Amino acid sequence: MEVVDFGLAHYTEILKFQTELFEDLVAKKREGKKGKEFILIGEHYPVITVGRRGKDSNILWPEQQLHEKGIDVYHIGRGGDVTYHCPGQLIVYPILDLETHRLGVKEYVNLLEEAAIRVLAEYGVEGVRIEGATGVWLGKGTPRERKISAIGIKCTRYCTMHGLSLNVNCDLDGFSLINPCGFCDKAVTSLRHETGHPIPLHSIKQSFLRHLSL
């Protein structure tokens, strides 16, 4: 599969790009052909996205005020609720045919989570799963449970798009604009916040790709 590092890009540009790749992969599969697979990786300018079952009530600021701050809101076809993206956050969008890799949807989500957990471990941070709450968390079972990685995918004929975000060096203030992933009682954190120093994003990209074992 081909890895495309899109750097720092506006959300709409990459949404259009990944949708075209996804639709081509699905179309090829319908024809009984093997399509090309991709992993898109990079960062987004500030943006809020709302998944299929997301609630607008989890966006805490009026949309007009968000626009004035340069933050657009997009309702998209992935799973999950409300998510905030910004510079310093790793974005990974795999465009894959899960059947080619003999994976079910749940197994695939587990692989994304596991890759993030292993990346965090390289920096001495223990990421874990919490039942019923997709993504990667810190401080499980304590009053300081906090989310560091969110996952939301779309799957058609076992072909995937959308994917994972991992908070690396991002400004956490932006998450105060929403109830992240629909949770109003849990915090959000970043690798920089947990380690006390910035982490080169290119190193995180390389590490994540290394750990994403399909």
Contact indicator for 98, 19 with CB cutoff of 8 Å:
no
Q: Which of these is catalytic: 155, 159, 181, 184?
A: 181
181 is catalytic: yes
Is residue 195 within 8 A of residue 204, CB to CB? The reply is no
The catalytic residue positions are: 181
